[in-house]
Amino acid sequence: MIKTLIIDDEPLAASLVEEYLSEFSQFQIVEVCQDGFKGLKAIQQHQPDLIFLDVQMPKITGFEMLELLDEPPAVIFTTAFDEYAVKAFDSMAIDYLLKPFSKVRFAQAIQKFLIHFQSNEVSTQKEGVNNLAEKSDRLVVRVKNEIKIIPTHQVLYFEAEDDYISIHTATGKYLKKMTMKSLEEALDPLKFTRVHRSFMLNLNEISKIEPYERDTYLVKLRTGAQVPVSKTGYSRLRQVLGL
């Protein structure tokens, strides 16, 4: 049996997926969830082969939910908003169903999944999920068994740490599995600037820029924290600040 999970805050939409899927005997629906938080717990509990995932949901979006998974299962997105189509396929989704979708269109999505599943090629590719280029005003991170939403205006600076990004705020430091490149693409360039290979800072937090060693600088933030600035980063910083 192919373990399947439905995550959608619209009961009618979830019921439609259940109805259509009932005609495919090899699929077993292990749970139906109404939001991303419950979806995360269900994925950890059931380890499904496939999820039908809505995008716009309460608390966290479908894309934000995927970011919190180290190894996301195969995904078929279901949403009423066609502007998410490109982003869905950037995340390596199997397919994208635009509500209201027909039984025929649903069957096409199932066949796409089965082709991949039978050839052992199913993968959402975590890097694909992280490279979703959408300007965001918040970040979602996992802290032990809890999920924390951090508004980007509360971030002092970001620091690259191997495969993770360290998010520094006035109240603490949080880790998120993400590349600096994908983070750079997701943030507003008028608010956040990469000043070093390993550092990106909140422009509103800058207190002072001082020379450091040859061709390098230090940015002092309002909290007293210091962030190194490379030669290239300094040029970028001058440009964005109009210096």
Q: How far apart are CA 196 and CA 151, in angstroms?
A: 23
Q: Long-range contacts made by residues 234-240, C-beta under 8 angstroms, separation at least 24? A: 234/195, 234/209, 236/193, 236/194, 236/195, 237/193, 237/195, 237/209, 240/189, 240/190, 240/193, 240/203
Q: In this structure, are residues 45 and 119 in contact, taking their beta carbons and an 8 Å threshold? A: no
- Confidence check: pLDDT of 12 > 50: yes
ω before 228 within 30° of 0 (cis)? no
Q: In this structure, are residues 169 and 150 in contact, taking their beta carbons and an 8 Å threshold? A: yes
Q: How far apart are CA 137 and CA 152, in angstroms?
A: 5
Q: How far apart are CA 49 and CA 241, in angstroms?
A: 48
The share of the chain scoring above pLDDT 70, in percent, equals 89
Instruction: Map residue 139 onto helix, strand or coil.
Output: strand
Per-position DSSP letters for 70-130, written without gaps between them: SS--EEEEEES-GGGHHHHHHTT-SEEEESSPPHHHHHHHHHHHHHHHHTT-----HHHHH
Q: How far apart are CA 65 and CA 155, in angstroms?
A: 20
Per-position DSSP letters for 169-224, written without gaps between them: ETTEEEEEE--HHHHHHHS-TTTEEEEETTEEEEGGGEEEEEE-STT-EEEEETTS
pLDDT, position 77: 92
pTM over 0.75: no
pLDDT, position 124: 43
Q: In this structure, are residues 84 and 77 in contact, taking their beta carbons and an 8 Å threshold? A: yes
Q: How far apart are CA 62 and CA 79, in angstroms?
A: 10
pLDDT tens column, 183-211: 888 888 889 999 999 999 999 999 999 99
Q: What average pLDDT does the structure give for the chain?
A: 87
pLDDT tens column, 93-130: 888 898 989 999 999 999 999 988 877 654 444 444 44
3 compared with 79, residue with greater pLDDT: 3
Nearest to 237 by CA among 210, 180, 139, 170: 210
